[in-house]
Amino acid sequence: MISTLIELQRLKRLDRTGWVLRGLAPGAESVAAHSYGVAFTAMVLADKVRARGVGVDVERVLRLALLHDLAETRTGDMPRTGAQYYSPEARRRAERAAFDDVVRELGSPLGGDYGELHEDYERRLSLEARLVKAADIVDLLAQALFFERSGARGLDEFWEGAAERDFQFDGAARAVVAETIGALLAARPAVK
């Protein structure tokens, strides 16, 4: 377990590359800070969906959120501008191999259990995995809004297509996520 915990420390200092490429100072946001934002956002989204009568396994949501970027301890944070040069399947294979290498040190059954969660997240097999993906985008937009309110400009590309994003939700989950993204979009014109 110790080697995995030590490796995890890399995420605390690993910059979210997209922000650095847009001119924000190194250290503006780490992958670990983003993962915390995703976990918190996913928990709130899940609780809001549950409050509307949909069964959601919040523990699973939190586990998925905490694990969703773990492979980046080995692969680094690849921005969209870099990802376009790799096929989606090649990138998925590389991230899965990195993830498996990181959790291998945890032994069985944890490594296998975490691997199943990783696969769920990558394939968006469950409502919980789709909520975490939505939280990933909501956290990105909230961070962009925060940076813009602090004076950053040139972040329009992070907002493009946000309102049209389809997370494959029905009913209450679709409404909660659409309301959340809508509120972020509505808050943005005040900073332009």
Task: Check: pTM over 0.85? Answer yes or no.
Answer: yes
In angstroms, the Cα distances linking 107 to 4, 74, 99 are 11, 18, 13
More confident position, 81 or 137: 137
Instruction: Judge whether 11 and 77 are in contact, CB under 8 Å.
Output: no
Mean pLDDT calculated for residue range 110-117: 96
d(Cα 179, Cα 174) in Å, to the nearest integer?
8
Angle subtended at Cα 28 by Cα 93 and Cα 72, rounded to the nearest 5 degrees: 15
Nearby residues of 125 by Cβ (< 8 Å), 6 or more positions away: 119
Instruction: Summarize pLDDT for 177-190 with one digit per residue, the tens.
Output: 999 999 999 999 87
Give residue 133's pLDDT.
98
Domain of residue 6, CATH code: 1.10.3210.10
d(Cα 186, Cα 55) in Å, to the nearest integer?
29
d(Cα 154, Cα 22) in Å, to the nearest integer?
7
Instruction: Summarize pLDDT for 45-67 with one digit per residue, the tens.
Output: 999 999 999 999 999 999 999 99
* Domain limits for position 55: 2-191
Number of domains in the chain: 1
